[in-house]
Structure 1
Amino acid sequence: MTQSFKASIALFGATGDLSRRKLLPSMFHLFQEGSLTHDFAILAIGRKDMNDEDFREVARTSLQDNEKLESLEGLDSFLSCIHYVQVDITDVDSYSTLKDKFESVESSVDTEGNRLFYLAMPPQFFTVITDNLRRSGVTETKGYKKLIIEKPFGRDYESAYRLNQDISKTFEEHEIYRIDHYLGKEMVQNIEVIRFSNSLFEPLWNNHYISNIQITSSESLGVLDRGEYYERSGAVRDMFQNHMLQIVSLLGMEPPISLSSDDIRDEKIKVLKSIRKIDKKDVKNHFVRGQYDEGTVDGEYVCKYRDEEDVSETSNTPTFIAARLFIDNFRWAGVPFYIRTGKRMRNKETKIVVEFKEVPKNLYYQNEQDDILSKNLLILRIQPDESISLQLNVKDHGSEKDTKEIKLSYAIDNKDLARTVDAYENLIYDCLNGDAANFTHYEELMNAWQFVDSINQVWETDIAPFPNYRAGSDGPVKSNLLLSKDGFKWWNV
């Protein structure tokens, strides 16, 4: 990242956890790398009564405590570019202070009038803030104006539609960047490169050669102090509707005619439109939900979900979901995409496993019951250890067996990982650069909600026999049946 950008970044929720742990370190690292120079400013917006120096000390502590930063070189220079602005976000008159601060900064710093608004806020404040930015004239500038907003973007199709209508009064679609931090992860961005730059894979990337694709995103942690939020969202809204379906669209898309954000998004939208809609009566045949019980994780006892803080004792909220999806188009007809995501599971990991079909006739069967050949698998490990591996069969020297399994693997070097401190850094850089490919377009969002709504409607009216999986396990036993009835299994590789 060597391109330098000129902009003022208004950071709403600057004193919050996301800003301190992710956003400020990401911006500081961009500053260290030269993508942000002295022709930029951060306007840290909050309700607390603070001045510039007070907030700079908060930022200094956050950056000093961040383990991913290799050095603090340039810290004082970076902090001098931060200005604190006290704003009551619900009071339009309070935004005059923000407007004055923008004008003051832009008179001394060459930002070219470019203004980026980052809403690290709960979604109920999105419309309030964008409306007040428009009414107060803060969005009237000689440069560009852009908006970054965090998920969740709505609770269902209707609420997402209304929210977008409201925000669109202030920002046009090309100015809105709906952030999905999964799309900023190195190995997720590698999906397109692996597919479209290797003649080894693209000719095989279809139903003639692939038997199934599995996407797993598991967490060993519970809901921690986010019980109130999680009760409203659950695994479907928190992970499946956004992160998981975005990965499905990247894996399933056709080669775009270029790497422009519009061309990539067009192909992703086609995938989301092609996902087979599930009738409410068939939800149980394609989806499994779960909620964690008490158990042991990393050698320590942990409580069940219903005993977590701010969680109902009779909660019907799923903390786990497994799904079997089909993309009904020419390339993927008949190939199941299996997805599972949950909390308090055995491991913290996110991975993609592509299982290739067996050879037409296996010459290395000694008899019908003895399957010697291992499956050919392509494994993309997104976290915690970013890597790519390809599982093959080779001759087994000095053994009674004819073959053995090997893995050709590549792990991203720590030096390469150090280029960014977090996925948010990649996404902030892309936004400043005007590259929206790794952000969620309105049509992607609405197609995802349209698919998910029928599942939520069934589950919200049907009481589940929770809890149904122990903390520290791989989830409900029924999730295995989704695959076994098709002749497959979850790959724990």
Structure 2
Amino acid sequence: MAKEKSAIFIIFGGSGDLAHRKLYPALYRLYKAGVLKDHFAVIGTARRPWSDDYFRETVVTSLENLDDDKQKMEEFAKHFFYQSHNVNDSKHYIALKELAAKLDDQFSAGHNRVYYMAIAPRFFGTVAEHINSEGLKTKNGFNRLVIEKPFGRDLASASELNNDLSKAFPEEEIYRIDHYLGKKMIQEIPNIRLKNPKFDKALSGKYVSNIQVTLGESLGVEDRGGYYETSGVLRDMVQNHIMQIIGSIAMDKPDEMTAESIHKVKTDLFSSLKVLDPEEVNRAFVRGQYDTDRLGKQTAYRDEENVDDNSNIETYAAGKIEFDDERWANVPFYVRSGKRMPDKSSRIDIVFNDQASKLGINPNTTVSLLIEPENGHSILVNGIDYQDSNQDLIKFPEDKTYFDDAREAYESLIIDILSGDRIHFTLWDELQSTWKYIDVIREQWDLETPKFPNYLSGTMGPEAADTLLERDGNSWVWDD
């Protein structure tokens, strides 16, 4: 039985898409699991002049695809309250403080507060400042600020944002969400390494030829064209999700399995990133933008809603990342992420070299950790389920049902927030290093006009992404 948690959630942007699509379903699953039960309440805030009853109706509507238990959903929704809010108005924060205190007494929530920023990043600093100045933070319980990406657009803006937040919240109270770190397979990588000493020992430049990280999506930008015009896949996927996945598989063994130890080795890894010189960018990184498909039925990116007709924003990026440390010297990490690829697939492919035979591993063995859409159902050895392979390299988990009941990413991360466990969140020191690396690429790309569109919808991306690996005598493991 799950241990019950207590808190008052204040969700800034409570009327928005993220809250209804991700947060409320995740909270409802935790309610059904008993993690949230009697001692919690949710305050949704936004500019819209909603009543509590109307807000609750929207919450129930957001859950209709999860459950047919109308009574359970309505019981859950009774924990939800709404307050119209102007982020710049101090009086609104005082009203929030009073409502939170009232609900804390009503639900015996232990003076615990979770402040969730489901709003545009430009408001993060303003809201944090007012939470502090108007005295919303409690003295007897915990205070935790949850930040959604994007965390800045570059190192300069990320630093400015971090400075603003740190005036109101110390680093240990800030939880920067990267939902990929909530996925079961990513969370299990340290345990897989711990329970498979041979595999863990093999994770070094002595025995690894290359490591590949692919985050492929079959959909286009859909209704996010306006956002993508300001972001592109480099900022949207590579700077955060891909870098954090690399951190999980490539970090040194921590002294212990605690947030402090794990973040130390991840921070050390990211600080050793070999930042590219501008003239190296176009040899190390490839960008692309999707066109229609072979039959002309799919919408090209430039024809999507809220996208410039001559847009130079990339919907695909592939690159070769290297580290300047003893463990990974001269080992390429090939990464790619793109829209309109043949299938949705998120995976890590580890290709071992001939020297791996010294550890009893067949030369050129490939281990693939599948993150999505299987939700970690599969670990492959040379393309075969590890349980059916002849290799004894991987012996965890012990049964095929291990991942079947895996929590959804936001559900898992909310439990961590309530528990004060920061292992699966991103620290500022890590972000500094990854932004420093990405900025060089972005700045160089912005100086040039690419020949877009350069790949058809439903394909693996531009041909230059294959050439990137072929120059090193390698090839992508996942190839449709």
TM-score (norm 2): 0.92
Q: CA deviation at 1:388?
A: 0.8
Q: CA deviation at 1:7?
A: 0.8
Letter in 2 for 1:357: N
* Aligned match of 1:45: 45
Supply the distance in 1 between the matched residues of 2:420 and 2:171 (Cα, whole angstroms): 13
- 1:379 lines up with 2:379 in the alignment: no
SS of equivalent residue, structure 2 residue 146 = strand
Conserved 8 A contact 2:14-2:46: yes
Supply the distance in 1 between the matched residues of 2:68 and 2:464 (Cα, whole angstroms): 44
Supply the distance in 2 between the matched residues of 1:485 and 1:416 (Cα, whole angstroms): 37
- Relative to 1, partners in 2 of residues 1:166 and 1:392: Cα closer, same or farther, differing over 3 Å? closer
Supply the distance in 2 between the matched residues of 1:384 and 1:70 (Cα, whole angstroms): 25
Conserved 8 A contact 1:217-1:351: yes
* Aligned match of 1:455: 441
- 1:190 lines up with 2:188 in the alignment: yes
- Matching of residues 357-376 of structure 1 within 5 Å: 357-358=353-354, 375-376=364-365
Conserved 8 A contact 1:389-1:408: no
Conserved 8 A contact 2:354-2:363: no
Structure 1: which 5+ residue stretches go unaligned?
Answer: 362-372, 394-402
Supply the distance in 1 between the matched residues of 2:383 and 2:403 (Cα, whole angstroms): 27
Supply the distance in 1 between the matched residues of 2:352 and 2:250 (Cα, whole angstroms): 15
- Matching of residues 81-92 of structure 1 within 5 Å: 81-92=79-90
- Matching of residues 364-443 of structure 1 within 5 Å: 375-385=364-374, 386=376, 387-391=378-382, 416-420=403-407, 422-443=408-429
Q: CA deviation at 1:316?
A: 1.3
Structure 2: which 5+ residue stretches go unaligned?
Answer: none
Conserved 8 A contact 1:157-1:449: yes
Letter in 2 for 1:354: I
Letter in 2 for 1:53: D
Conserved 8 A contact 2:148-2:177: yes
Which protein has the larger Cα radius of gyration, Structure 1 or Structure 2? 1
Q: Deviations over 1:294-350 (max 9, x none)?
A: 115xx8821211111111112111111101111221111111110010111111110
- Relative to 1, partners in 2 of residues 1:90 and 1:65: Cα closer, same or farther, differing over 3 Å? farther
Supply the distance in 1 between the matched residues of 2:264 and 2:68 (Cα, whole angstroms): 38
Supply the distance in 1 between the matched residues of 2:321 and 2:52 (Cα, whole angstroms): 51
Conserved 8 A contact 1:391-1:406: no
- 1:171 lines up with 2:169 in the alignment: yes
* Aligned match of 2:305: 309
Conserved 8 A contact 1:375-1:392: no
Q: Deviations over 1:114-134 (max 9, x none)?
A: 111011111011112112222
Letter in 2 for 1:440: T
- Relative to 1, partners in 2 of residues 1:411 and 1:219: Cα closer, same or farther, differing over 3 Å? farther
Aligned residues: 469
Q: CA deviation at 1:170?
A: 1.1
Aligned residues with identical type, % of pairs:
38
- Relative to 1, partners in 2 of residues 1:413 and 1:236: Cα closer, same or farther, differing over 3 Å? same
Q: Deviations over 1:170-218 (max 9, x none)?
A: 1110000000000000011121111122123012111121111111111
- Matching of residues 95-244 of structure 1 within 5 Å: 95-244=93-242
SS of equivalent residue, structure 1 residue 470 = coil
Q: CA deviation at 1:3?
A: 2.2
Conserved 8 A contact 2:355-2:363: no
- Relative to 1, partners in 2 of residues 1:326 and 1:378: Cα closer, same or farther, differing over 3 Å? same
Supply the distance in 2 between the matched residues of 1:414 and 1:225 (Cα, whole angstroms): 35
- Matching of residues 297-336 of structure 1 within 5 Å: 301-336=297-332
Measured on the aligned residues, the alpha-carbon RMSD in Å equals 2.5
Supply the distance in 2 between the matched residues of 1:233 and 1:476 (Cα, whole angstroms): 20
- Relative to 1, partners in 2 of residues 1:353 and 1:56: Cα closer, same or farther, differing over 3 Å? same
